[in-house]
Amino acid sequence: MSKSAIVVGAGIVGLATARALSEKGYQVKVIEKSQFALGASVRNFGMLWPVGQPDGILYDRSVRTKEIWTEYLDAANIPYNACGSLHLAYSAEEMNVVEDIAQFFQSKNRPVSVIDKDTVLANYNGINENGLLGALRSEDEIIIDPREGIKHLPAYLTQKYGVSFIWGTAITSVTSHAAFAGKTKYEADLVCVCSGQDFETLYPDQFKAQPIIKTKLQMMRFKHQDPNYKIGASVCGGLSLLHYKSFHASSALTKLRLKIEEEIPEYLKYGIHVMVSQNNEGELTVGDSHEYALDFEPFDKTEINEMILAYLKKFMHIDQWKMIQSWNGIYPIMTNGAAELFLNPEPGVYILNGIGGHGMTMSFGFAEEMIETI
């Protein structure tokens, strides 16, 4: 007789957990309060971003996640853009980090190189040449439109693994081997709670004891006047060198941080780092910012979007870009620097949460690793 499992939440962590459980032989039912995924899982760049992960377990997890994504995307005939990434350098301090981290990554056999200004301009479009010194080129990164990738994933899980979905049903409580939607009881051998930013709803005392908080980000999407315009890579400015933990391995990072603290401290106040990804429709996603709290006002801050665009102009020509959308997203993050939260509050119940802003990059690998420990 096959084992049964319930997954609460159909965001990317929940869907990844459903897949991992199915691979282990569980008959899985996913229960989601909304009619479709509409949280942080669809409010992001769509970047699979191994370059941002520190070497070791987390980088390996990101590579495994990418393998699973591409397996699904190929099987479902969903296009993606294996374009890699550029971290552009416009100051000596940025270039020193780029060169330092490239040497370190290369020693770990990661597919990166340092390219000069002429190579950047010859191979990529829309880059601001003024003051450009060079860039870190990484081959690892893939762009998916998360709205398409997430939308079709439930059908794929149903077709391949027999996963069933109950939409528009809020789970109000969980006990050992059971989940309740009001008075309706769903029983299973295992219950996995993957509720993302709604982490207080179930097991509130457990979460109150955890070093976990929420992050609000602001993002925008643009279209270029030329429908055939292609940048050729996901592109980041120097602020991203401070944002991603992988770059902490560079001894040159301290001087760059001091420079930014002196010149543009307001960007650090809002946790702004600026990058642009381009999906297969040619749409350009730009962001983002990071505000930290347990609750947020629902309104976007105009000054944050203006700061993002002002910084974007330092490394991209955007005069032919037209904004078509803006939004915000909220996701949980651990305040103690941990890469995830995995709890077993009572027999047969597990909580998977807290992977920060790395859901697209890490969820499949994270879920596989956690389910393997059960």
Alpha helices by DSSP H, 82-133: 92-107, 117-123
Residues 138 and 102 sit within 8 Å (Cβ to Cβ):
no
**Residue pair 253/241 in contact by the 8 Å Cβ criterion:** yes
User: Is the pLDDT assigned to residue 146 strictly greater than 90?
Assistant: no
Mean pLDDT of all residues belonging to the chain: 94
For residues 140-161, average pLDDT: 90
Q: Do β-strands 173-175 and 178-181 pair in parallel, antiparallel, or remain unpaired?
A: antiparallel
Q: Which of 373, 358, 343, 374 is nearest to 61 (CA)?
A: 358
How, if at all, do strands 85-89 and 112-116 pair? Answer: unpaired
Architecture in CATH for domain 3-45+147-202+337-373: 3-Layer(bba) Sandwich (3.50)
Per-residue pLDDT tens over the stretch 209-250 = 999 999 999 999 999 999 999 999 999 999 999 999 999 999
Instruction: Report the topology of domain 85-139+212-334.
Output: D-Amino Acid Oxidase; Chain A, domain 2 (3.30.9)
Spans of all domains in the chain: 3-45+147-202+337-373, 85-139+212-334
> How many angstroms separate the most distant Cα atoms in the chain?
66
Given this model, what pLDDT does residue 1 score? 64
- In this prediction, residue 40 carries a pLDDT of 56
User: Are domains 3-45+147-202+337-373 and 85-139+212-334 of this chain identical in fold?
Assistant: no
Query: Does pLDDT of 41 surpass 80?
Result: no
Q: Which residues of 75-113 are buried (b: 16+ CB within 10 A; e: fewer)?
A: eeebebbebbbbbbbbbebbbbbbbbbbebbeeeebebe
Calculate the CA 209 to chain-centre distance: 25
